Amino acid sequence: YYLSSLYELLRKELLKQDVIHADETPYRVLDSERAKDYVWTLLSGKHAEKQIVLYNHGSRKGAEAWDFLAGFMINILPKDKAIESDATLVANQGINYCSQMFSLERAWEDLSAEERYEKRQFELKPLLEKFSDWCSKKSISVLPSGKQGTAFKYCMKHMDKFMNALKDS
């Protein structure tokens, strides 16, 4: 309470940084109604000129962290421009690959078995290989236990089965 004005000055300085790291750590409070409380650590980037580390208590949902970082987001995002999250962009890329593959298959419905086989070899195979490479690269840049990590793990585990479409006529 006595240092709140100093904390607010440091917070404003932190929000001016190019990079801010945020992470939560659970801890147990003996006389609390909740089983766990969380402390959020918010700090400047490793190579920042001004090294700042601040703590904020809250829930794991991160409402407090989002409130804390609201000024940062306003500072870095252009005004009047819709911004998609990285997760949304990655998901849309995956959906785009799948849509392209299904679109090809629909276009080939009325072809003979031999023609479909040829089309799969020359059009679907490169797309499947590109999708496989993309999944492999993206899988190392997401949390393995998160939703995207689980989806990429599933894709990589079953890629050989996806490739079986190339054997079908």
116 domain-assigned: yes
Task: Give 23 or 6, the one with higher predicted confidence.
Answer: 6
pTM tops 0.85, yes or no: no
Number of domains in the chain: 2
Encoding tokens for residue 92? Answer: 């849309």
Element of type H or E holding 57: strand 53-58
Range of the domain at 97: 86-166
Q: Angle CA(91)–CA(100)–CA(154) in degrees, nearest 5? A: 45
81 domain-assigned: no
Half-sphere exposure of 56 (CA within 13 A, CB side): 21
Q: pLDDT tens across 132-167, in order? A: 999 999 888 888 888 888 999 999 999 999 998 898
Q: Are residues 94 and 69 in the same domain?
A: no
CA end-to-end span of the chain, whole Å? Answer: 73
